[in-house]
């Protein structure tokens, strides 16, 4: 049988493409080496959010006296993990059921592209060859393991972990050292701190949170420090010796001890060993470059999700997968990265969309930046005793359009898509002024900031 589409990888890009293509009547085969759902459902977005919700409840209960509530708090890690596993099982089961309902076939195997014939592309899975008119490569990404002395030994002994192993820990380590203060590092630091570990984050740059707004990064750091997390910024890790992490700062070597050490210094596209060279798909810095239609350099071969190296986020993967399938179906659709929201699910949450002040200034744009205290939102005040959250909006002075919204405050993760809509639709300040926001909500802060310009 010749399939219309073979998808390599059953993560967010792969399963969403399979759903859309299956619904459109294409005969689809998904080849996935592990469980359906990819990193996001099995060992990424969803498991971490389950853990962080427990952490948030524990934090709120531990500091309940500010709100007139007193409690003795114990975070039971074993119960948290059990619940996490239940949530993951339910969601991955849901993906499989949805595939089945749409007639999408799934094979558990490591797929390898073998070549091209008049019938299409041949892919090997468990020593059987499958042929399809089109391919979608959605093989995702894996944690970067740096060539730091002692890392390999640490990984073998279990003292050094990637996020995958950290999410499977059965006990809370007494001390937890995080290498890399990006999204994964901060979320994991947040959970293990709430769960009772002594947490230290070592970051090479002089700020945490990667490309998030500089002021917001500082605020996040001070909030996490108040919770007891230590930060070593501008520090380069030089060696790991069974949990002892050596690092260099200003020419001096220092060290910190960890029962467990997490490596979270970024992820790399999974392109090795999948046979890209057999059909001539090119890679750049290990990822597969695509055009705005998610097409690779080879006809009828598409790529979507982390493997294209653009924006390693599940929601970007969803949209890229949709763009790929729509183009396969002959519908005009193209990918834009102007308004991809980014969220860090710490407590407090950080979320942003569009340009930060630094990005706009680097581009030489003439912008107005307004920072507004979250306490202008009555609901924020009611729910965040002593909270110091802010929203920062960036407006292009030439067009009077909103081009960026960045905030630190709980609910930011749920509010940011509204801001994303404004940025994506290129709304002007005057247009946004006419939008009615529900009151009292934390999201009203966007309206407040727009009127304070
Ligand atoms: P990241 O790129 O967000 O952060 C890595 C950090 O490690 C950077 O701040 C970098 O400066 C630092 N670093 C690099 N080498 C270092 C070294 N040798 N020593 C100390 N620091 C070093 O990468 P991360 O956190 O591993 O996340 C990977 C991907 O997963 C990201 O693309 C992220 O967007 C995605 N992700 C998204 C989540 C979300 O949307 N909430 C949650 C988790 C992951």
Q: Residues 63, 77, 332, 439: which is the catalytic one?
A: 439
- Check residue 3 and give its pLDDT: 98
Nearest protein Cα to ligand 1, atom 22: 180
Calpha distance 37→317 (Å, rounded): 12
Q: What mean pLDDT do residues 265-294 have?
A: 98
With CA atoms as reference, report the closest residue to 13 among 47, 42, 36, 46.
36
The answer to whether 439 is a known catalytic residue is: yes
Q: What distance in angstroms lies between residue 182's CA and the mean position of ligand 1's atoms?
A: 4
Element (H, E) at 144: none
**Residue 125 φ/ψ, nearest 5 degrees:** -140, 120
Q: Please give the angle made by the CA atoms of 185, 190 and 195, to the nearest 5 degrees.
A: 125
Q: Which residue, among 196, 191, 36, has the nearest Cα to 100 in the 3D structure?
A: 36
Instruction: Using the mean position of ligand 1's atoms as its centre, give its distance from the Cα of residue 180 in Å.
Output: 6
Q: Which of 40, 150, 266, 348 to mutate to test the pocket of ligand 1 (most atoms within 8 A of CB)?
A: 266
Residue 242 — left, alpha, or beta (φ > 0 → left; ψ -120 to 50 → alpha)?
Answer: left
Compute the average pLDDT of residues 244-249: 97
Q: Which atom of ligand 1 lies nearest, measured to the CA of 247? A: 19
| Nearest alpha carbon, ligand 1 atom 12 | 180
Instruction: Note the residue count of the chain.
Output: 453
> In whole numbers, what is the pLDDT of the chain averaged over residues?
97
Percent of the chain with pLDDT over 90: 99
Contact 450, 444 (CB under 8 A): no
pLDDT for 8 equals 98
Which string of DSSP letters, residue by residue, matches 323-343? HHHHHHTT-------TT--EE
Task: Tell me what the mean pLDDT of segment 309-337 comes to.
Answer: 97
Compute the Cα dihedral for 30, 35, 40, 41 and give only its sign.
positive
Q: What is the mean pLDDT of residues 61-65?
A: 95
Q: How confident is the model at residue 209 (pLDDT cuts 50, 70, 90)?
A: very high
User: What does each C-alpha distance from 353 to 85, 223, 393, 405 come to in angstroms?
Assistant: 31, 21, 10, 5
Q: Provide the Cα torsion 385, 406, 393, 230; round to 10°.
A: 60
> Whole-angstrom Cα distance, residue 401 to residue 262?
41
Q: What's the pLDDT tens digit per position in 172-185? A: 999 999 999 999 99
If you average pLDDT over residues 339-356, what whole number do you get?
98
Which atom of ligand 1 approaches the CA of 344 most closely?
A: 41
Identify the pLDDT of residue 313. 98
From ligand 1's centre to the CA of 211, what distance in Å? 10
Query: Which class for 432: exposed (0-12), middle (13-18), buried (19 or more C-beta within 10 A)?
Result: buried
Both structure tokens of 140:
């995702």
Over residues 271-299, the mean pLDDT reads: 98
User: What is the percentage of the chain residues whose pLDDT exceeds 70?
Assistant: 100
Give bridge partners of residue 49 from the DSSP assignment. Answer: none
Find the helix packing angle between 77-101 and 12-23, rounded to 10°: 30
- Going from the Cα of 308 to the center of ligand 1, the distance in angstroms, rounded, reads 17
Q: What are phi and psi of 146, to 5 degrees?
A: -75, 155
pLDDT class for 157, splitting at 50, 70, 90?
very high
Query: What mean pLDDT do residues 376-382 have?
Result: 98
User: In sequence order, which residues have a C-beta less than 8 Å from that of residue 79 and are 6 or more positions away?
Assistant: none
Determine the atom of ligand 1 nearest the C-alpha atom of 184: 25
CA–CA separation, 413 and 339 (whole Å):
14
Q: Give the three-class secondary structure for 199.
A: strand
Say how far apart CA 391 and CA 379 lie, in whole Å: 15
106 CA from centroid of ligand 1 (Å): 31
Q: Shortest CA distance to 350 belongs to which of 140, 52, 67? A: 52
Q: What is residue 171's predicted lDDT score, i.e. its pLDDT?
A: 97
Tokens of 316: 């970007």
Tell me, what's the pLDDT at 212? 97
Q: Provide the greatest CA pair distance for the chain.
A: 73
Distance, C-alpha 393 to centroid of its chain: 22
For residues 138 and 305, the answer to whether their CB atoms sit within 8 Å is yes
User: Pseudo-torsion of CA 414, 416, 418, 420, nearest 10°?
Assistant: -140
Report the C-alpha gap between 151 and 174 in whole angstroms. 20
DSSP 437: P
What number is the average pLDDT over the span 195-217? 97
Distance (angstroms) between ligand 1 centre and the Cα of 345 equals 14
Q: What is the mean pLDDT of residues 53-68?
A: 96
Residue 309 φ/ψ, nearest 5 degrees: 70, 15
Say what the pLDDT of residue 83 is. 98
* Mean pLDDT value of segment 335-345: 98
Q: φ and ψ at 73, to 5 degrees?
A: -110, 135
Closest residue by Cα to atom 32, ligand 1, is 312
Which atom of ligand 1 approaches the CA of 143 most closely? 26
What is the SS3 assignment for 81-139?
HHHHHHHHHHHHHHHHHHHHHCCCEEEECCCEEEEEECCEEEEEECCEEEEEEEEEECC
Q: Find the residues whose C-beta lies inside 6 A of ligand 1.
A: 146, 179-185, 187, 202-205, 210, 237, 264-267, 312-313, 343-345
Q: Which of 164, 180, 187, 246 to mutate to test the pocket of ligand 1 (most atoms within 8 A of CB)?
A: 180
The tokens for 33 are: 């080496």
Q: At what angle do helices 183-194 and 45-62 cross, to 10 degrees?
A: 40
H or E, element range at 18: helix 12-23
pLDDT value for 107? 98
What residue has token string 């247009």? 431
């Amino acid at each position: 049988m010749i399939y219309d589409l073979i998808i390599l990888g059953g993560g967010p890009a792969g399963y969403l493409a399979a759903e859309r293509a299956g619904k459109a009547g294409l005969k689809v085969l998904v080849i996935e080496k592990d469980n359906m759902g990819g990193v996001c459902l099995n060992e990424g977005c969803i498991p971490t959010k389950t853990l962080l919700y427990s952490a948030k409840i524990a934090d709120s209960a531990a500091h309940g006296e500010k709100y007139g509530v007193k409690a003795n708090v114990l975070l039971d890690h074993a119960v948290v993990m059990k619940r996490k596993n239940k949530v993951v099982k339910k969601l991955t089961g849901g993906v499989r059921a949805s595939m089945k309902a749409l007639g999408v076939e799934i094979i558990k195997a490591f797929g390898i592209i073998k070549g091209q014939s008049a019938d299409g592309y041949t892919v090997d899975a468990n020593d059987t060859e499958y042929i399809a008119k089109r391919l979608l490569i959605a093989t995702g990404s894996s944690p970067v393991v740096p060539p730091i002395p002692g890392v390999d030994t640490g990984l073998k002994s279990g003292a050094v972990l990637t996020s995958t192993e950290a999410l499977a820990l059965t006990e809370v380590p007494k001390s937890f050292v995080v290498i890399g203060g990006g999204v994964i590092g901060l979320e994991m630091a947040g959970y293990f701190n709430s769960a009772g570990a002594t947490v230290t984050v070592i970051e090479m740059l002089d700020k945490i949170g990667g490309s998030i707004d500089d002021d917001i990064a500082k605020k996040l750091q001070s909030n996490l420090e108040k919770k007891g997390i230590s930060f070593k910024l501008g520090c380069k890790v030089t060696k790991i010796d069974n949990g002892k992490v050596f690092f260099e700062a200003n020419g001096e070597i220092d060290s910190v001890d960890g029962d467990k050490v997490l490596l979270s210094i970024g992820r790399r596209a999974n392109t090795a060993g999948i046979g890209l060279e057999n059909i001539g798909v090119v890679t750049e810095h290990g990822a597969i470059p695509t055009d705005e239609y998610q097409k690779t350099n080879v006809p009828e071969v598409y790529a979507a999700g982390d493997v294209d190296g653009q924006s390693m986020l599940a929601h970007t993967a969803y949209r890229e997968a949709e763009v790929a399938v729509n183009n396969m179906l002959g519908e005009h659709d193209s990918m834009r990265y102007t308004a991809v929201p980014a969220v860090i699910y710490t407590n407090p949450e950080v979320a942003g969309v569009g340009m930060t002040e630094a990005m706009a200034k680097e581009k030489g744009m003439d912008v107005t930046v307004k920072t507004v205290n979250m306490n202008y939102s009555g609901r924020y005040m009611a729910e965040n005793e002593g909270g110091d959250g802010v929203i920062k909006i960036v407006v292009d002075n030439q067009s009077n359009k909103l081009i960026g919204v960045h905030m630190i405050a709980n609910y930011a993760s749920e509010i940011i898509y509204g801001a994303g809509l404004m940025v994506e639709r290129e709304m002007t300040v005057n247009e946004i002024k006419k939008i009615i926001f529900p009151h009292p909500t934390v999201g009203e802060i966007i309206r407040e900031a727009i009127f304070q310009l």
